[in-house]
Amino acid sequence: MDIRSAQKLAWENKTEKGFNTTNTPLEFGLLTAEVSEAFTAWRKGLPDFGEELADAFLYLTALAEMNGVDLDHEVTQKIEKNAKRTYQRNAHGAHIRVSDG
């Protein structure tokens, strides 16, 4: 499944089930909660880690749809942009971008 299809299906599920479709700040809060649940599942080695990541992804795609963002397009563009960038580690070991390609 591509991102565009997932975004459409996530949005259809939200509208059919009567979930939030207008309150962007609320959706950011719910997305944050889902990311936290995924982190907890990973940290504790729980079997539902993948499901929690999927929840976060679905909240993210719905947030994009709510705000008219074609996430499929944006992800493609960002991957292409990132591929051209170069990084070096600084004296503290942090990755520092040194060029945009």
pLDDT tens per residue across span 27-44: 999 999 999 999 999 999
- Res 100: pLDDT: 87
CA distance 12 to 60: 14
Residue closest to 26 by CA, chosen among 72, 62, 52? 62
Residue 60 identity: L
- Res 92: pLDDT: 95
Structure tokens at 60: 């993210």
Report CA Rg, the chain: 17
Query: pTM to 2 decimals?
Result: 0.87
- Res 101: pLDDT: 75
- H-type helices in the chain, by residue range? 3-17, 24-44, 49-66, 71-84
- Res 27: pLDDT: 97
Which domains, ranges and CATH numbers included, belong to the chain? Answer: 3-99 (1.10.287.1080)
Low-confidence ranges of the chain (pLDDT < 70): none
